[in-house]
Amino acid sequence: MTLPIVRVTNLHKYFNQLYVLKGVSFAVQPREVVCLIGRSGSGKSTLLRSINFLEEPTAGTVEVDGIVVGEKLPAKERKRRIRDVRLRTGMVFQEFNLFPHKSALENVIEALLVVKRTPKSQATEIGQELLRKVGLIEKRDEYPSRLSGGQKQRVAIARALAMEPKVMLFDEPTSALDPELIGEVVKVMEDLANEGMTMIVVTHEMSFARDAADRIIFMEDGVFVEEGAPDEMFTAPNDPRTQQFLQRYLKG
């Protein structure tokens, strides 16, 4: 049995009095694509952001590629392990978060230069290859202000891939895009899934979830209500809350 590449155990998260994650546990296998679906405010994005500690869990344990971060670690060791987890996870946000004063290529290679201290010629080669992969090599010298939303998001995906992550985390990567631009980003994500990239995706794009996911998890009110393969979830969900949610989305 292959060991999971991500394991989350009994994760809790409070924002002051607001109880957002209520003891969530799950594991993701290498090469698996897991889609988190549910209404806004159900805890999906908080769970995703807790995996690479953009949000600090209130309690629980996160493990990524054998790096375990629990509650009882000495502060210095915990900080080191969080850094190691972040080096293994690529994150793509709803907003693109590109540096406006850097070209597409410069955005992609920034972390290689600063974090990995990769020589510039080598980083440039990697960056160009990744822009080619997401269909944007001809935009390498363009600044974000001259790119469409879909192009910006594809640059953001290339930037995340530059660090050779073991896991890609996508937090509603198409929700800020105009409808006609969604397809180009979904295509890149589907290609990554087909290549065997481990992915955890918070999404409202049900067609992507149906076509690309190995497993779908429906969240509501900070807990997992139901999970299963896309066929099961879309054709015969068990829980009435899942049924109601999917009916609404599939009608749309």
What CA dihedral angle connects 189, 87, 198 and 172, to 10 degrees?
Answer: -40
92 has which bridge partners?
A: 170
Contact 51, 89 (CB under 8 A): yes
pTM attached to this predicted model = 0.95
User: What pLDDT tens digit does each residue of the chain (252 aa) get?
Assistant: 688 999 999 999 999 999 999 999 999 999 999 999 999 889 999 999 999 999 999 999 999 999 999 878 888 999 999 999 999 999 999 888 899 999 999 999 999 999 989 999 999 999 999 999 999 999 999 999 999 999 999 999 999 999 999 999 999 999 888 888 899 999 999 999 999 999 999 998 898 999 999 999 999 999 999 999 999 999 989 999 999 998 887 664
Sheet with 67-69, edge to edge strand ranges: 18-28, 6-15, 59-64, 67-69
Q: Which two tokens stand for residue 147?
A: 């790119």
- At residue 137, the 3 state secondary structure works out as helix
CA distance 236 to 76: 48
Please provide residue 195's backbone torsions phi and psi, each rounded to the nearest 5 degrees: -80, -5
